[in-house]
Amino acid sequence: MGLLALFLIDAIAAVNPYVSPLAAEADGLYIRWQDGKVVMGPLEPEAFQEYKQRAKKRIQLIRALWQLAETCGEEAVEKALEALKSAVEEAKS
């Protein structure tokens, strides 16, 4: 949930000038999953850079998904995502 909150702040900051994007020098504490436990602590610079790269990619994916929904319809996209999810789950087992 902590990473989702960070992602939402970054995504909103990209379109709303009243919301500040996250900065590497942010001194806050972040809740995260580490070694099988929920922990709270500072976000390390390496982890912050990895997060920023992943957030950028996820924003691109959300835009692509939105565009597909516009061109193909929500039902078609939902059906394709369900098929992809099933294929991934089947490959895992």
Query: How is the chain split into domains, by residue range?
Result: 2-92
Give me the pLDDT at residue 2, please.
Answer: 62
**What residues form DSSP beta bridges with 33?**
38
Least confident of 28-37, 50-59, 71-80: 28-37
> Model confidence over 11-25: pLDDT tens digits?
888 888 787 766 545
Residue position matching structure tokens 């920023």: 52
Those residues with Cβ within 8 angstroms of residue 55's Cβ, 6 or more apart along the chain or in another chain = 6, 7, 10, 11
Per the model's pLDDT, the better-predicted residue between 79 and 33 turns out to be 79
| Stated pTM of the model | 0.62
Contact criterion met (CB below 8 Å) for 22 and 9: yes
Nearest to 15 by CA among 71, 49, 67, 59: 59
41-71 per-position pLDDT tens digit = 777 778 778 878 888 898 899 999 999 999 9
